[in-house]
Amino acid sequence: MALIPLQYRLDGPVHAPVVLLVPPFGTKMSVWEPQIPELTRNRQVLRINHRGHGTSPAPEGPYSVEDLALDVLGVLEGHGFSRVSAVGAGFGGSLLLWIAANSPRTLERLALLAGTPRTPPMHRWDRVASRVRGAGLESVTSDVVLPWFTPDLTEDRPEVAARFTEDFGSTDPGAFASICDTVAGMDQRNLVSGVRAPTMVVSAAHDPLLPPGHGRRLADGLSDSRFEVVSGAAHLLGVERADRVNELLVEHVAA
């Protein structure tokens, strides 16, 4: 399949080393806003939107992890960035794992937030995909968005939860369903041992989607890894606990 020209944004000092940020599916590059002030102090920061998110094109599926990872590599190649550090959240991290295993020279250091080596079968993303195709994005909004934040955030900062819900509603339904199908069958356990980049795996203590055991298993399979658990956050830990996540990211990819 041809590479899809993803929407991207570049911030920070022009000649500084580059950090690539890959969001979870269902969210846009704005999910990284809390990280930008810290990371752009001494790094160029490249953000992307997945297929069907923001203004990135939404070709017909099916998609594979490889297709979606090559989209990301295409953005790097378009800028002549041959070696970068990278942060991926949720399924964004799975694309980076694929790149780290298949194009090892590309990634210098890696941070994976809310990651897992394989999608838990009970998540049934295939069912989410068929609901989207049958009844539209609205039919799955609460199921998809609910695990993103703890009840505390939803109560104390309702405008944050509302903004992410609204962002999700603007995703292309066909592309989202195709990504759900890709995620449903994802199993990267065979790739993990081939990753050589020093990797920090960060899980959220209250992530109902991928509790810390998933991150622990991912970190255990990597040859050069560090594992951290962030308290007081659910799946979108970089938003809910930006303070702690920023400390960890600056230390690992922008020190």
Going residue by residue through the chain, which has 255 residues, state the pLDDT in tens, using 9 for 90 and above: 678 999 999 999 999 999 999 999 999 999 999 999 999 999 999 999 999 999 999 999 999 999 999 999 999 999 999 999 999 999 999 999 999 999 999 999 999 999 999 999 999 999 999 999 999 999 999 999 999 999 999 999 999 999 999 999 999 999 999 999 999 999 999 999 999 999 999 999 999 999 999 999 999 999 999 999 999 999 999 999 999 999 999 999 998
12: left (phi over 0), alpha (psi -120 to 50) or beta: left
Which residue in 71, 74, 79 sits closest to 53, CA to CA? 71
Q: Answer whether 0.85 is exceeded by the pTM.
A: yes
Spatial distance between the Cα atoms of 202 and 191, rounded to a whole number of angstroms: 19
Which residue in 111, 105, 109 sits closest to 82, CA to CA? 105
How many alpha carbons fall within 13 Å on the CB side of residue 249?
A: 32
